């Protein structure tokens, strides 16, 4: 968004300091002009979008930039501009993980506060999140701290741009799982990011609800759609949101049913069973 030039520069410096082959970088200005950018060992290109396309739209623009340049890359790191790679071996660990397991499609990093070292529960992409230092196979990932094989995107498509904000990673993750790819949460791959609340975004409650419905309508077998959304409705009510927040959430929930959600490609029942064995059946 162009409003964190110092944090962006620190992130780029941490990428440049990674061991192994230099990393080629694309910086996307999502509806905002970019600050002056440094030269990097692996090269740096910039993309300035005329309007804010949201999180998935911005990341898709970065993916497209590699294709337009004719670059043949094996994997793409997605890093938010207020993040930082504190260790110099993160990229090398990604290379090793993808090389060791040809079926591994997505890596999700551990996000930790730079001052306290604490990882918020919401940043551990599994139900059993008490120990964020434990790596595991998972069914979703953290979009701003991840690595995705380009073969996954080529097979199942990019992030759903129409989501704009919230659940776009889970949509891609479910499609990747259905195509047979694996997803891992790696606690040893760390991204420093200040502790924040997702509700700081004005659109949070509406888009979380709308996109939750879209996610189900696009990806779940029909019998699971009402179960999944019913569970999330009950959870939302149990959390006792404020009246304005609940009003926005219910408005988004209605919008999710009444607006186009994109192409419907329900996952196979064997994918449902695979997700259940991984500890998160697609009704929770």
Look at residue 2 in the predicted model and tell me its pLDDT.
84
CA dist., res. 88 & res. 109, Å (int): 14
- pLDDT tens across 67-97, in order? 776 567 899 999 999 999 999 999 999 999 9
Candidates 226, 223, 196; CA nearest to 212 is: 226
- pLDDT tens across 135-175, in order? 999 999 999 999 999 999 999 999 999 999 999 999 999 99
- pLDDT tens across 188-224, in order? 999 999 988 776 556 899 999 999 999 999 999 999 9
| Mean of pLDDT values over 232-247 | 93
Look at residue 88 in the predicted model and tell me its pLDDT.
98
CB 257 within 8 A of CB 212: no
Look at residue 69 in the predicted model and tell me its pLDDT.
61
Ranges of beta strands (E only) in the chain are: 25-30, 44-49, 75-79, 104-112, 136-137, 145-149, 182-192
- pLDDT tens across 13-44, in order? 999 999 999 999 999 999 999 999 999 999 99
Candidates 144, 147, 119; CA nearest to 133 is: 119
Look at residue 196 in the predicted model and tell me its pLDDT.
80
Look at residue 134 in the predicted model and tell me its pLDDT.
97
Look at residue 131 in the predicted model and tell me its pLDDT.
97
Look at residue 199 in the predicted model and tell me its pLDDT.
60
Look at residue 1 in the predicted model and tell me its pLDDT.
81
């Amino acid at each position: 968004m162009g409003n964190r030039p110092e944090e962006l520069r620190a992130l780029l410096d941490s990428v440049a300091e990674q061991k192994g082959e230099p990393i080629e970088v694309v910086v996307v200005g999502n509806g905002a002009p970019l600050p002056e950018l440094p030269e990097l060992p692996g090269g740096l290109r910039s993309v300035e979008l005329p309007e804010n396309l949201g999180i998935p739209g911005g990341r898709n623009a970065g993916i497209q930039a590699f294709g337009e340049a004719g670059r043949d890359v094996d994997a793409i790191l997605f890093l938010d501009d207020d993040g930082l790679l504190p260790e110099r071996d993160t990229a090398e660990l990604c290379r090793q993980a993808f090389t060791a397991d040809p079926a591994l499609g997505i890596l999700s990093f551990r996000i930790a506060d730079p001052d306290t070292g604490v990882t918020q529960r919401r940043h551990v992409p599994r139900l059993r999140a008490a120990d964020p230092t434990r790596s595991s196979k998972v069914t979703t990932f953290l979009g701003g701290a991840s690595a995705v094989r380009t073969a996954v995107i080529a097979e199942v498509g990019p992030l759903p741009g129409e989501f704009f904000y919230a659940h776009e990673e889970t949509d891609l993750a479910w499609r990747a799982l259905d195509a047979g790819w694996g997803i891992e949460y790696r606690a040893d791959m760390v991204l420093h990011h200040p502790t924040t609340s997702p509700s700081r975004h004005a659109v949070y409650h509406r888009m979380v609800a709308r996109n939750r419905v879209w996610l189900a309508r696009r990806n779940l077998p029909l019998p699971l759609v009402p179960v999944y959304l019913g569970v999330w409705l009950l959870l939302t009510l149990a959390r006792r949101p404020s009246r304005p927040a609940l009003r926005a959430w219910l408005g988004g929930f209605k919008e999710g049913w009444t607006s186009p959600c994109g192409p419907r490609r329900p996952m196979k029942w064997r994918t449902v069973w695979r997700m259940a064995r991984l500890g998160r059946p697609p009704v929770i």
